[in-house]
Structure 1
């Protein structure tokens, strides 16, 4: 009976996913394609990752606002700013040595936890007070953990991948719930890439010691 129940549950979710895919609009497909292109270009260190990322984030922010995921939309606007900055920074820093990869210190963990907790509280307050969000707790959590992960990424800390994947873990069901299946699939793809990134960066940090 238990096996049959699990089989039925899987079948229901598969049918729901198929229905959501059929209802997926062109803009979501384009945003996801450019999001995948950005990740693949980043893996080979190609500067075209920035224009691909800019297109993906603009479209993503628009679609997220449509489904009332305001904190995630704001997160994408931040991605947009950082993509433009990164594109310019690429040209300025070209040929210069990069900051070495390392593990987060105790002090950096304190800052990371402050960003997660403080960011969640602020975002939750803003969502409840000034938006029509129907998932303020979840939306704020996904964004605050991503903010913390990006702070660690900017510092080139190995643990950035852990925070980014914590965000991804909660983002996947939220995106399915909001009817954005291709964004959810892209997030699963990013989750896998982050696992690989964590493994690679651990090796880099160890080799630098």
Structure 2
């Protein structure tokens, strides 16, 4: 298939996308913009977008992705509560992952993938159990590193995104694939920004 044929197919898929998917995508983009602007409305916006996405992904047979989005809902509710509560905690500083943390990250990715694959293969009608499991397990690993403010979280999240993009196109979810491409770019920018901040802190500490 030529590039022009691919673009034509993509445009046809986008035009055929229903209103529910458009709503979820628009709200997801709004969530990212609200997060960048540091507005509390990012949480209710994200919750609605994610709940819709769970329905759409489940309908498409991406059960591990749906489970992953369920986690996003829980964390968004917690984040919303934490924001309103305004607890005065010291932020965790950005650092690189240690060897022990890399072992845990690898375990989450591989064992998580194996467990999800087993469940999807034997208890669902998933047509892409390994693919779906790998996308979700690497995202879980990335979120674990993100919670610990580790620079490498962006690498794991983009490994997940890189596999998710063709998976979403394969499942005829072009808008979600384009959203994931957008998130891939955001993660690259996030990695570079965190690396710059970490380098600045290390240089400042070396002078003391």
Same fold (TM over 0.5): yes
- The answer to whether residue 21 in structure 2 is matched with residue 28 in structure 1 is yes
Is 1:121–2:114 an aligned residue pair?
A: yes
Give the drift of 1:35.
0.6
Match of residue 44, structure 1, among 24, 29, 37: 37
TM-score w.r.t. the length of structure 1 is 0.93
129, 132, 143: which is aligned to 1:139? Answer: 132
TM value normalised by structure 2: 0.94
Q: Which residue of 2 aligns with 1:74?
A: 67
Q: Partners of 2:86 and 2:152 in 1: how far apart?
A: 24
Q: 1:159 to 1:93 in 2, by over 3 A?
A: farther
Superposition map of 1:47-196 within 5 A: 47-196=40-189
Q: How many Å separate the matches in 1 of 2:32 and 2:194? A: 16
Gaps of 5+ in 1: 1-7
Mapped to 1, the partners of 2:123 and 2:111 lie a distance apart of 18
The number of residues matched between the two structures is 202
Counterpart CA distance in 2 for 1:158 and 1:46 is 24
Structure-2 separation of matches of 1:22 and 1:176:
14
- CA change 1:47–1:57 in 2 (3 A) is same
How far apart in 2 are the matches of 1:93 and 1:102? 24
Q: Distance in 1 between matches of 2:7 and 2:127?
A: 25
- Give structure 2 stretches of 5+ with no counterpart: 203-208
Q: Considering only aligned residues, what root-mean-square deviation do their CA atoms show, in Å?
A: 1.1
Distance in structure 2 (CA, Å) of the matches to 1:130 and 1:30: 30
